[in-house]
Amino acid sequence: MRAAAALIWKDVLAELRTRELVTSMSLVAFLALVVQGVAVGSAPAPAVTAAILWITVVFAATLGLARSQALEQDRQAFSGVLLSPVGRGTLFLAKAAANLLLTLLVMAVIVLAETVLVTPDLGRRIAGVALPLGLGGVGFAATGTLLGAMAAATRLREVLLPILLVPVTLPAIVVSLSGVSAALEGAPFGAILGPAGFLAAFDVIVLVLGVWLFEYVVDE
């Protein structure tokens, strides 16, 4: 547990020193929101608001996950981490947790920006939106961690990751979209539990597969 916490803190501290990932992801998110906001106009339907939210998250989070992996590979930092006496499953969980923190931070920025620029109702419905959006973020970050490690050995790693990541996480994104849309429509909390249950199951499956497969991925 202490080893995992140390690995997470390493990634957090590296980002706090440079702020490279958060800055680039937030800028991409802001530009995507501006373009989509101009395209849909004011007061879009709940389904459109949910789609804008997740499209922006996918663009920004994929950029961050790809760049995070690329930075470690370019600086040979990941090779050093692999030499540490830490199980590969623990290493995967620590990397996934660090990527999740980054993804959730960017999600918070996107929700705030979309509330201001596109849909004021989003801020008032945040309690219902947070559950399906957050659970979707867990699966997205965990899958991105595993696929990012697979793509890291290729020369086109920053291009290959989104090509792999979006199709694999598409079922979770679609279900999260339905949950966010239901929350924005003012549906009762029970209506959100169905999508939330699917997302929780997806997250558990991805995490278990990641712990199991990560050793083989990084040893290649």
pLDDT along the chain (220 residues), means of 10: 67 69 81 81 77 89 78 62 69 87 89 84 82 93 87 71 88 92 85 90 93 76
Contact 114, 49 (CB under 8 A): yes
Instruction: Provide the residue range defining the domain that includes 102.
Output: 2-219
Backbone angles phi, psi at 125, to 5 degrees: -105, 15
What per-residue confidence (pLDDT) applies to 50? Answer: 86
Query: How would you class 121 by CB atoms within 10 Å of its CB: exposed for 0-12, middle for 13-18, buried for 19 or more?
Result: middle
Interatomic CA distance for residues 134 and 11, integer angstroms = 21
What per-residue confidence (pLDDT) applies to 71? Answer: 64
What per-residue confidence (pLDDT) applies to 76? Answer: 62
Is pTM beyond 0.85 here?
yes
What per-residue confidence (pLDDT) applies to 94? Answer: 84
Q: How many separate domains does the chain show?
A: 1
